[in-house]
Chain A
Amino acid sequence: MFDIYVLGQQVLNGVILGSIYGLIAVGYTMVYGIVGMINFAHGDIYMISAYVTAVALAVLMAFGIDSVYLALLLTMVMAVIITGLYGWAVERIAYRPLRGSHRLAPLISAIGVSLVLQNYVQIGQGARTQGIPTLIEGSLSIGQGDSIIQISYTQLLIILVAVASMCLLTLVITRTSLGRDCRATQQDMVMASILGVNINRTIAWVFTIGAMMAAIAGVLVTLNYGTFDFYIGFVTGIKAFTAAVLGGIGSLPGAMLGGVLLGLSESLFSGFINTDYKDVFAFAILVLMLIFRPSGLFGKPEVDKV
């Protein structure tokens, strides 16, 4: 029953799933770190990206672009730009006017945005499950006969792109002036604004960057599974939020590591224990984590102030 190759395959699947969660979790953690709100609509932003991917691929094929890699690159660029615009627009319309309102207002507004985005896509694109053709075929395999670990080229691409975009994000946050503004705003919003940081612009960028990372995740997941519908954002969004909490909300490396941890444990749970309850398992991790260690594995504890 227990097989080192099965374990290896599950670990591999877990890491791939986890890097997707990590990419989405970045958006939750950055927004929470700076504005202190849970962007409930973030999962639906990721869902938008899956649709943009499919539409972009369809349009590119109709225009006769044959090279798979060129099409992929262009799709990625379009998905990142348009989904980023969605992130920006949501912040501009639904969250910015609420700054300084009572503390439940942004969360309720975010739930509203989430309902709007889901229903908007359902009306715009129809309720049925959509799909894209398989673009990259073939896989690497380690081992022989029944005992092999398979990694498809798509999965390889997922890991490469995920790692690359995480590195890029880390560079942006640590090395650019925008990143410096973000860090300053996170530490003390009032002080940063006194020292000349444009708070509104910085927060808008944070939402946009979070949406862009979710867009990359959306493209990769769509390439891997091939099918999606307007409802995928909800469960994936909550799982990515779990990843952010697991790593300590507000911390960037925490979100990435939390994503991988959650992906690993979910994949091992569904591989060796029970597939039906894998979502229950993820929710249970979220609940237990928030109850017993709300600051996460790498976060700083919060202190209540009057």
Chain B
Amino acid sequence: MNTNKASGNTTTRTYIKESLITFVLAYVIFLPITGLVLKGYDYQALLHRPLYLALSVALLRVCIVWLRDRRMALPLPTVQIPAGVRKHKRFGTALLFGVMLALPFSIDNYWLTVAISVLIYILLGLGLNIVVGLAGLLDLGFVAFYAVGAYGYALGSQYLGIGFWAAIPFVIVLAMLCGILLGFPVLRMHGDYLAIVTLGFGEIIRLVLNNWLDFTGGPNGVAAPPPTLFGMEFAHTATQGGRPFHELWGLEYGSSHRYIFIYLLLLATVALALLFVNRLRQMPLGRSWEALRENEIACRSLGLNHVAIKLSAFSLGAMIGGVAGIFFAAYQGFINPSSFTFFESALILCIVVLGGSGSTIGVVLAATVITLLPEVLRDFADFRILIFGIVMVVMMIWRPRGFVTAKRQRFER
């Protein structure tokens, strides 16, 4: 179907031919799924749906042919950072942080939970960014570490009686161990095989969580205790001993206190993680991750220890994922395996890819957009996954290195 690519002048006849062929093919393709809807053993014909779809595909095809013919690639939005902006960077970051600090006191509970999800996804994106973006190891089972964090906290409090604060070091150690455990067998693998093995691991963990009824509660899930601050609880009446937060400070009880607390703590954690990742990138470890991503054989022949590099990437990524899991469990108050499906892994990967692999600011932006988008487009909630999928494909064709490659300089000194 690549007509007249070389000659450069497409005649009207070609346009008609192209659009007709595309239309017919698209109609045949769309017809059985969108046009003939199954109703029990019978069907209902909705023939207008494939018609519209095929018409728009044909139109798109004509546009693409026209653009290619005009040698007019779509103009890419590149972000140029003027010299002056960099001076104000510190000020800008401080201002943004201040706004983020004030945010929970000015929005209602619903948007507060949305803001918490944004921060959790930023954390997950930062974790996966170390593995995929910096070290170039495609991990399709990242949700496993998220699950390890969430279940480590919930089950830890159920069986070992550890609280929110004790759970953080516990989960960090647990997640890093899991990262190393996953890292060891896959050291020799690269690219696609690595992706499939990590996917297998992720699914195995989810299936075990789902089937091991006696220990994990299976599909019924487990309750995770709410977080505390110096023994103060954020409930109306204390359940874990100690006095509730609002009593101690003489405040009116509000259900938002718990969310505000989680939000602020999460904000601090995200800030810490951002600092951590950005510092790491300047350090020899971060540089060797990027070297490994670019060329493993060259990297090894220059004397870099690929075992240490890969394992450190896996374990540090897992650590951040695990911490995100604690926050997820603490904020939900209840977890079950259905929160840790492959789709979640794909979503986190989508954040990293969209943000531009390796760019931390890109991850923050992408996580914000991806979490806020379905909230803004409530009416299109059904199409959310469809849009994600299309975005992933289009991004790979159009900007395989992500959106924020130009902004990357901003965070390097």
Residues of A within 8 A of B (CB): 37-38, 48, 51-52, 54-56, 58-59, 61-62, 78, 82, 85-86, 89, 92-94, 97-98, 101-109, 111-126, 130-133, 200, 234, 238, 241, 245, 276-277, 279-280, 283-284, 286-287, 290-291, 294, 304, 306
Q: Is the CB of A277 within 8 A of B211?
A: yes
Does residue B333 face the partner (Cβ distance < 8 Å to A)?
A: no
Complex CA–CA separation, A130 to B49 (angstroms): 20
> Which residue from A52, A122, A132 sits with its C-beta under 8 Å from B32?
A52
- In Å, the complex CA distance between A123 and B296 comes to 43
Q: Distance in Å from the Cβ of A34 to the closest Cβ of chain B?
A: 14
Q: A104-B138, A115-B386, A234-B342 known; 4 other A-B pairs, CB under 8 Å?
A: A55-B38, A108-B138, A125-B33, A280-B204
Contacting A290 at CB < 8 Å: which of B29, B140, B193? Answer: B193
B140 to chain A, nearest CB (A): 8
Among A51, A89, A104, find the residue whose CB has the most chain B CB atoms closer than 10 A: A104
Q: Within the complex, which residue of B28, B185, B297, B388 is in contact with A115, where a contact is CB–CB below 8 Å? A: B388
Q: List 30 A-B contacts (CB under 8 A).
A: A37-B192, A38-B196, A48-B33, A51-B32, A51-B33, A55-B32, A58-B36, A58-B42, A59-B36, A92-B1, A101-B400, A102-B400, A107-B195, A108-B353, A112-B389, A115-B385, A115-B386, A115-B389, A116-B386, A124-B49, A125-B33, A130-B38, A131-B40, A132-B41, A287-B200, A287-B204, A291-B185, A291-B186, A291-B197, A304-B296
Taking the complex as formed, is B295 at the interface, i.e. its CB lies under 8 A from any CB of chain A?
yes
Indicate which residue in B33, B132, B197 contacts A120 across the interface (CB closer than 8 Å). B33
State whether the Cβ of B43 lies closer than 8 Å to any Cβ in chain A: yes
Q: Is B349 an interface residue (CB 8 A)?
A: yes
Query: Chain A interface: which of B96-104, B147-155, B308-316, B390-398?
Result: B390-398
Most buried by A among B32, B34, B36, B397: B32
User: B357 — nearest CB in chain A belongs to which residue?
Assistant: A104
Nearest Cβ in chain B — how far from A113, in angstroms?
6
Complex CA gap A280/B199 in Å reads 12
A79 CB, min distance to chain B CBs, angstroms: 9
Residues of B within 8 A of A92 (CB): 1
Structural contact, B383 and A85, CB atoms closer than 8 A: no
- Once the chains are docked, how many angstroms separate the CA of A294 from the CA of B342? 23
- B412 contacts chain A at the CB level, 8 A cutoff: no
Contact across chains for B385 and A89 when beta carbons are under 8 A apart: no
With most chain A CB atoms within 10 A of its CB, the pick from B191, B204, B401 is B204
Contact pattern, B 266-306, Cβ under 8 Å of A = 1, otherwise 0: 00000000000000000000000000000111100000000
Shortest CB-to-CB span from A46 to chain B, Å, is: 14
A276 close to B393 (CB less than 8 A):
no
CB distance from A81 to the nearest CB of B (A): 8
- Cα(A94)–Cα(B40), bound, Å: 33
Query: How distant is A219 from chain B, measured CB to nearest CB, in Å?
Result: 13
Q: In the complex, are the beta carbons of A113 and B393 less than 8 A apart?
A: yes
| A280 and B36 contacting across the interface, CB-CB below 8 Å | no
- Give Cα A93 to B192, complex, Å: 21
**How many Å lie between the Cα of A94 and that of B390 in the bound state?**
9
Contacts of A107 in B (CB 8 A): 138, 191-192, 195
Question: B38's closest neighbor in chain A, by CB?
Answer: A130
Q: Which residues of A contact B207 (CB under 8 A)?
A: 277, 279-280, 283
Known: A97-B397, A107-B192, A133-B41. Is A115-B33 also a contact (CB below 8 A)?
A: no
Chain B residue with minimal CB distance to A37?
B192
- Tell which of B33, B192, B203, B386 touches A283, judged by Cβ atoms closer than 8 Å: B203
Question: How far does the Cβ of B111 sit from chain A's closest Cβ, in whole Å?
Answer: 26
**B63 CB–A CB distance under 8 Å:** no
Given contacts A102-B400, A241-B196, A294-B189, contact A82 B386 (CB under 8 A): no
B346 located at the interface, meaning its Cβ lies under 8 Å from any Cβ of chain A in the complex:
yes
Pairwise interchain contact B201-A98, C-beta atoms closer than 8 A: no
Q: Do A119 and B385 touch across chains, with their CB atoms under 8 A apart?
A: yes
Across the interface, A279 reaches (CB within 8 A) one of B1, B136, B203, namely B203
Contact between chains at A276 and B392 (CB < 8 Å): no
Q: Which chain A residue has the least Cβ–Cβ distance from B185?
A: A291
- B67 contacts the other chain (CB 8 A): no
Interface assignment of B166: CB less than 8 Å from any CB of chain A: no
Scoring B43, B201, B298, B396 by chain A CB atoms within 10 A of each residue's CB, the highest score goes to: B396
Are A131's CB and B41's CB within 8 A?
yes
Determine the chain A residues whose CB is within 8 A of the CB of B298 once the complex forms. Answer: 306
Q: Are A98 and B396 in contact (CB under 8 A)?
A: yes
Top-9 shortest CB links A-B: A112-B392, A115-B389, A116-B389, A58-B43, A119-B386, A119-B385, A112-B393, A124-B34, A109-B396
Known contacts A62-B43, A283-B204; is-contact A89 B392 (Cβ 8 Å) = no
Q: A112 and B196: CB pair below 8 A?
A: no
Cβ-closest chain A residue relative to B353: A108
Provide the bound-state CA to CA distance between A268 and B398, in Å: 47
Looking across the interface, which residue of chain B has its beta carbon closest to that of A82?
B32
Residues of A within 8 Å of B28, CB to CB, are: 82, 85
